[in-house]
C-alpha cells in the first residue's frame, strides 16, 4: 500500500542518481507496504505470498493487508522458496563470532555450553548441575548444583570431621610410637637386645597384667609396686619407677647395666627379675611376687603381734640375706660384683616359709663403678653408712653396715629410728660396749635363757658390721660364715 506514488519519469529519471543529489537536494524515503489482495491474515487462512518454509503471516500495521516474516530462530526471505528462503540461525556460532553482541542477545547461564537446534538453541548445564542453562524471561534461575550448597557444606563438614577423627588418632599413634622408640633407646633397650634371659613387655601388657595398676603392694622413694598376673597363672610384682625431677637424666648404659645385672644374678635369696618395659619414660620392672610381704612389716607393722617369729626363723632370715649379699659382692662367670645400695628390712621379702628374698635393685651398681666415684644413693638414711654420708663413696662395706642394722632389728624387734628420736645402731652399740645389750633384745626371745648366748653372738656380729672404720668391718662372706657356724652350733634352737 502506498499513499503517495512517484514515477521516476516525474523526476526525469533515466537511470541516473542526479535526481536525488542535484543542487544539494536529498529525499528521505520510507517504504511502508503490505499485500492487500487477500486482506488480513485473519481473513486469509493461507497467505499465498508467504511461500518459504518457517515463514509466517503478520497483519499490516497501516490498514488492510499482511506481510510475511521468518519464524523465530530463522532468517532470510519469507517470500521465496529454496536456499534464499528462511533458514536456521546458528546462535552458538554468532556468540563465538561476536560475544559482546550475541551473548546478550542469546544468553546462557555461566558455565553452561551452547548447542544449536533447529530454529532455536539450548544451553546445557555443566557437570554436577541441573536446570536449564538458557536464560529467558521465564527462566531466571538457570543452572544450579545437583546438591544444594547447604548439603555440600554439611557433607564437607562431615568429611572434615571424619578426616579429623581418623587423622588425629593416626598422628597421635605415630607420635606415641616415636616416643616409645625414643624411650626404649634412652632406657638402654638397644644395649639389652643381645642379653639373653630378659623378656621385654609392652606398656599395654603391663596395664593388662596389673588391671591398669589397680592394686598397690608398696611404695617408696623409687616409685610404686603393683600386683599383677601373667596369663592368669603367674603372680608378679610390677615396679613402676617415678622421676621426681623432670630434669633428672638417665644414662642408658647405666640403666642397661643395672637391668643386665639383675637379669644375670640368679640366686634363691634374690628376687628374680622376669622382664622389663623400656618403652615408658622411665623403666618398669616385672619381678616375681612374694606373698607374705617384707620383713619390716612382719617385725614392726600394725599386725606384728600376729607374727611370732622364733629365733631359729630369724637366724635363717639373716643367713638367707647374707647369702644373697655375698653372692652379689662376689665375681663369677655369670655376673660381675655389684653392691646393693639399699639394704633394709623393707627390701627383704618373705615367702610363706619365711625364706627371705632380697629385693629392690634400683640402686644396685657395679662395685667398680661404685668405688670409683661419688654415687648418689637413694636409700633410707637410717640404714646408710655414715662414712658414705661423709665422703660420698659407696663400697660393699656400706652394704655390710646396712646389714648390721637389719641384724639389730631381728634381735631387738625395734625400728632403726625408734621411740621418736632414738637411733638403734647408736643406742645398741653404747649398750653393747657397756655390757647392757641384753636389755635391748626382743622380750619374746630374751625371756628364754637358751636364746641369750645365740643373741649375744648375733649382736657381736652386728656391732662389728657397724664399725665406723670400714676396714674394721667384716666382709659379707665372713658374716655369712659366722652365721652359718652359729646355726650349726645351736641345733637346740626351737623352730
Annotated binding site: 244
| Distance (Å, whole) CA 289 – CA 22 | 133
DSSP 8-state code for residue 430: H
Residues annotated within the binding site for ATP are 244
* Backbone dihedral angles phi then psi of residue 478, each to the nearest 5 degrees: -65, -40
CA-based end-to-end distance of the chain: 150
Does residue 342 carry a catalytic annotation? Answer: yes
| Distance (Å, whole) CA 230 – CA 282 | 22
SS (H, E, C) 54-113: CEEEEECCCCCCEEEEECCCEECCCCCCHHHCCEECCHHHHHHHCHHHHHHHCCECCCCE
| Distance (Å, whole) CA 482 – CA 55 | 135
3-state secondary structure of 492: coil
| Distance (Å, whole) CA 294 – CA 392 | 28
- Does the CA dihedral 378-381-385-389 come out positive or negative? positive
C-alpha pair distances (Å), 438 with each of 296, 367, 485: 22, 36, 22
What's the burial of 34, exposed, middle or buried (CB within 10 Å: 0-12/13-18/19+)? middle
| Long-range contact pairs involving 434-443 (C-beta distance under 8 Å, separation at least 24) | 440/412, 440/414, 441/411, 441/412, 442/411, 442/412, 442/413
DSSP 8-state code for residue 347: G
Half-sphere exposure of 34 (CA within 13 A, CB side): 19
* Backbone dihedral angles phi then psi of residue 449, each to the nearest 5 degrees: -60, -30
Bridge-based pairing of strands 365-366 and 216-220 is unpaired
- Are the C-beta atoms of 77 and 101 separated by less than 8 Å? no
What's the burial of 7, exposed, middle or buried (CB within 10 Å: 0-12/13-18/19+)? exposed
User: Among the options 313, 342, 360, 380, which is catalytic?
Assistant: 342
Please list the residues that pair with 226 across neighbouring strands.
216, 238
- Tell me the angle at which helices 449-465 and 424-433 cross, rounded to the nearest 10 degrees: 110
3-state secondary structure of 117: strand
- Does the CA dihedral 83-85-91-96 come out positive or negative? positive
Residue 374, C-alpha cell as written in the block: 661419688
Active site residues: 342
Amino acid at each position: 500500500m502506498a499513499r503517495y506514488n512517484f514515477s521516476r519519469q516525474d523526476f526525469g529519471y533515466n537511470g541516473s542518481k542526479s535526481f536525488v543529489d542535484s543542487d544539494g537536494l536529498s529525499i528521505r524515503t520510507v517504504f511502508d507496504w503490505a499485500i492487500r489482495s487477500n486482506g488480513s491474515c485473519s481473513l486469509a487462512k493461507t497467505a499465498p505470498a508467504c511461500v518459504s518454509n518457517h515463514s509466517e503471516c503478520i497483519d499490516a500495521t497501516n490498514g488492510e493487508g499482511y506481510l510475511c516474516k521468518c519464524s523465530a530462530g530463522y532468517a532470510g526471505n519469507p517470500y521465496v522458496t529454496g536456499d534464499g528462503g528462511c533458514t536456521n540461525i546458528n546462535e552458538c556460532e554468532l556468540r563465538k563470532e561476536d560475544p559482546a553482541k550475541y551473548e546478550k542477545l542469546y544468553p546462557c547461564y555461566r558455565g553452561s555450553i551452547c548447542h544449536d537446534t533447529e530454529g532455536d538453541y539450548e544451553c546445557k548445564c555443566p557437570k554436577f548441575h541441573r536446570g536449564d542453562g538458557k536464560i529467558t524471561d521465564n527462566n531466571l534461575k538457570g543452572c544450579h548444583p545437583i546438591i544444594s550448597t547447604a548439603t555440600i557444606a554439611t557433607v564437607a563438614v562431615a568429611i572434615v570431621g571424619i578426616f579429623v577423627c581418623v587423622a588425629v588418632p593416626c598422628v597421635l599413634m605415630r607420635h606415641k610410637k616415636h616416643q616409645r622408640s625414643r624411650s626404649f633407646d634412652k632406657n638402654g633397650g638397644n644395649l639389652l637386645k643381645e642379653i639373653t634371659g630378659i623378656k621385654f613387655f609392652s606398656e599395654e601388657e603391663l596395664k593388662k597384667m596389673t588391671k591398669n595398676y589397680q592394686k598397690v603392694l608398696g611404695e617408696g622413694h623409687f616409685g610404686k609396686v603393683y600386683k599383677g598376673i601373667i596369663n592368669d597363672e603367674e603372680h608378679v610384682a610390677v615396679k613402676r619407677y617415678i622421676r621426681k625431677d623432670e630434669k633428672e637424666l638417665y644414662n642408658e648404659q647405666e640403666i642397661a647395666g643395672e637391668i643386665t645385672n639383675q637379669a644375670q644374678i640368679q640366686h634363691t635369696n634374690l628376687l628374680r627379675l622376669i622382664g622389663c618395659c623400656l618403652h615408658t619414660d622411665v623403666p618398669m620392672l616385672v619381678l616375681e611376687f612374694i606373698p607374705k610381704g617384707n620383713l619390716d612389716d612382719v617385725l614392726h607393722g600394725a599386725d606384728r603381734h600376729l607374727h611370732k617369729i622364733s629365733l631359729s626363723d630369724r637366724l635363717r632370715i639373716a643367713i638367707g640375706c647374707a647369702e644373697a649379699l655375698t653372692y652379689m659382692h662376689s665375681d663369677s662367670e655369670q655376673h660381675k660384683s655389684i653392691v646393693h645400695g639399699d639394704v633394709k628390712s623393707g627390701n627383704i621379702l618373705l615367702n610363706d616359709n619365711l625364706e627371705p628374698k632380697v629385693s629392690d635393685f634400683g640402686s644396685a651398681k657395679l662395685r667398680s663403678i661404685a668405688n670409683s666415684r661419688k654415687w648418689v644413693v637413694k636409700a633410707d638414711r637410717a640404714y646408710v653408712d655414715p662414712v658414705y654420708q661423709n665422703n660420698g663413696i659407696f663400697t660393699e662395706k656400706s652394704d655390710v653396715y646396712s646389714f648390721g642394722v637389719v641384724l639389730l632389728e631381728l634381735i631387738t624387734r625395734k625400728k632403726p629410728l625408734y621411740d621418736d628420736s632414738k637411733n638403734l645402731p647408736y643406742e645398741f652399740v653404747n649398750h653393747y660396749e657397756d655390757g647392757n645389750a641384753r636389755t635391748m633384745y626382743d622380750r619374746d626371745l630374751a625371756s628364754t635363757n637358751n636364746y641369750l648366748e645365740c643373741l649375744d653372738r648375733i649382736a657381736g656380729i652386728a656391732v662389728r658390721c657397724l664399725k665406723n672404720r670400714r676396714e674394721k668391718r667384716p666382709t659379707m662372706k665372713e658374716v655369712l660364715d659366722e652365721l652359718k657356724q652359729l646355726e650349726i652350733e645351736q641345733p637346740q634352737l626351737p623352730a
